[in-house]
Amino acid sequence: MPGTVWFVGAGPGDPELLTLKGRVLLERAGAVLYAGSLVNAAVACWAPPGCTIADSKDMTLAQIVAWLIAQASRHDTVVRLQTGDPALYGTLIEMVQPLDRAGIPVAVVPGVSSAMAAAAAAVESFTLPEVTQSVIFTRVAGRTPMPAGESLVELARHRCTLCLFLSITLLHQVEQALQEAGWPAEAPVLVVHKASWPGEERIVRGTLADIKQRCRAAGIVSQAMIIASPTLGARHWATLAKSKLYDAGYTHRFRRASTPSGA
Ligand code: SAH
């Protein structure tokens, strides 16, 4: 019986943002494969002595799969550490399909995505009552083309929160697309480099018109989350529509209204 290959979300960088479940799996892992340039090596430190630990940064997808299959024939628990959450831009399915074909059981443990870590770093909320109630996780087309209907211009027309992965070297495209979609040049844009990485996180705030220049000046060319949202900077707004959930006049499952709704 082969062991199980666990795809574990390692979180955005801070080793303490690994889930408890991820840590328990690492502690009993016979083999761990992590992406050295993206996953903080400290996360792998939970692995027990004698555990086979390898860095996948120089491996092809085929080599990664071959490694996981070989280790699953030797160990009950094999962990593939994925950056952030495995369901976002992580080649999860490309790895799972050949494991399925080889008859190796797989399971996934979610992780804290870098999008959430970027919001946390900057004390921002992706949703605000009466401002936007939707978030789009996307990217601009690099070598991976965007499917029909998903160009950034089309998505940006919703004017909701946009979290852009894998796009920091393509800020000119972001700027162009958002302007074409009607966002003003002074719309706030946030870039967080290495969100949550102890001592390495950097936050750059700017506008659609100047964020590219600010990132260039800060030397940020990789591992960065771009956030464009009408909610940015709300911490400092003088007026804010209050969430109904905490409105004293609003009754919900856990609390009765103390004043008539709307009072
Ligand atoms: N599955 C990952 C995303 C992998 S794609 C997740 O859920 O976060 C890699 C992209 O994620 C990078 O190009 C960058 O846009 C973003 N990213 C990953 N880690 C990051 C971090 N610590 N800070 C900011 N962006 C990060």
Q: pLDDT averaged over the chain?
A: 93
Between 252 and 199, the more confident residue is 199
For the residues 207-230, what does the mean pLDDT come to?
A: 97
Cβ 118 under 6 angstroms from ligand 1: yes
End-to-end CA distance of the chain: 65
Confirm or reject: Cβ of 191 under 6 Å from ligand 1: no
**Mean pLDDT score, 82-110:** 97
Kindly report, as residue ranges, where domains of CATH 3.30.950.10 are found in the chain: 114-236
Q: Which of 66-75, 101-110, 142-151, 223-232 has the lowest mean pLDDT?
A: 142-151
Query: Where in the sequence of the chain do the CATH 3.40.1010.10 domains occur?
Result: 4-109
Among 225, 226, 227, which is best to mutate for testing ligand 1, by the most ligand atoms less than 8 A from CB?
Answer: 225
Indicate the CATH number for domain 4-109: 3.40.1010.10
CA of 85 to the centre of ligand 1 (A): 9
- Region 63-71: mean pLDDT is 98
Q: What is the pLDDT of residue 42?
A: 78
* Ligand 1 pocket member 83 (CB < 6 A): yes
- Residue 165 CB less than 6 A away from ligand 1: yes
- Say what the pLDDT of residue 260 is: 56
Return the amino acid letter for 31. Answer: A
CA distance 57 to 101: 24
Average pLDDT over residues 237-258: 71
Q: How many whole angstroms separate alpha carbon 119 and alpha carbon 191? A: 10
Closest Cα to residue 140, out of 114, 113, 177, 115?
A: 177
Q: Which numbered atom of ligand 1 lies nearest the CA of 114?
A: 8
Question: Is it the case that residue 209 has pLDDT exceeding 90?
Answer: yes
The pLDDT value recorded for residue 263 is 44
40 lines ligand 1 (CB under 6 A): no
Average pLDDT over residues 80-96: 97
Percent of the chain at pLDDT > 90 equals 83
Q: Which CATH architecture has domain 114-236?
A: 2-Layer Sandwich (3.30)
Is the beta carbon of 113 within 6 A of some atom in ligand 1? yes
Q: Is the pTM of this model over 0.95?
A: no
Average pLDDT rounded to a whole number, residues 1-26: 96
Q: Percentages helix, strand, coil for the chain, rounded to the nearest 5? A: 30, 20, 50
Q: Which of 40, 81, 83 to mutate to test the pocket of ligand 1 (most atoms within 8 A of CB)?
A: 83
In this model, does residue 212 exceed pLDDT 60? Answer: yes
